[in-house]
Amino acid sequence: MRLGGGNTAKSAAVAFARANGMKTLDMTIKGRLLQVLEKYIPEKLANKLWEKASSSFAKGAEGTANVFHNATDGVRLESVWRNVEYPVLKDNVNLIYHDVFR
């Protein structure tokens, strides 16, 4: 389960994951720890840790990955999705895109 597009997409992805027995990165132990840790460390370090966790999470994907994007705002050029996850996933899994509107 992949996220992109802020809290709107995140909420939709989490609801979809729970309803279908899946997990988003934020729902894993590593993701929950990073959510707590990022409050106490410099943003640059937190971003690097999220990038590493996202890459690892994407490398573990098999079959199909559901991707939730904010349809109103699009994908930020500097997003972890665009720069870290998508390059790993694009040739390895079937991506199903879900556009989420605010």
* DSSP H/E element including 12: helix 6-19
Helix/strand/coil (H/E/C) assignment for every residue in the chain: CEEECHHHHHHHHHHHHHHCCCCCHHHCHHHHHHHHHCCCCCHHHHHHHHHHHHHHHHHCCCCEEEEEEECCCCCCCCCHHHHHHHHHHCCCCEEEEEEECC
Exposed/middle/buried for residue 64 (C-beta within 10 Å: 0-12, 13-18, 19+): exposed
Q: 52 — phi, psi (to 5°)? A: -65, -45
pLDDT tens string for the chain (102 positions)?
444 445 788 899 999 999 999 999 999 999 999 999 999 999 999 999 999 999 999 999 999 999 998 887 777 778 888 899 999 999 899 999 998 887
∠ CA 95-100-102, nearest 5°, is 160
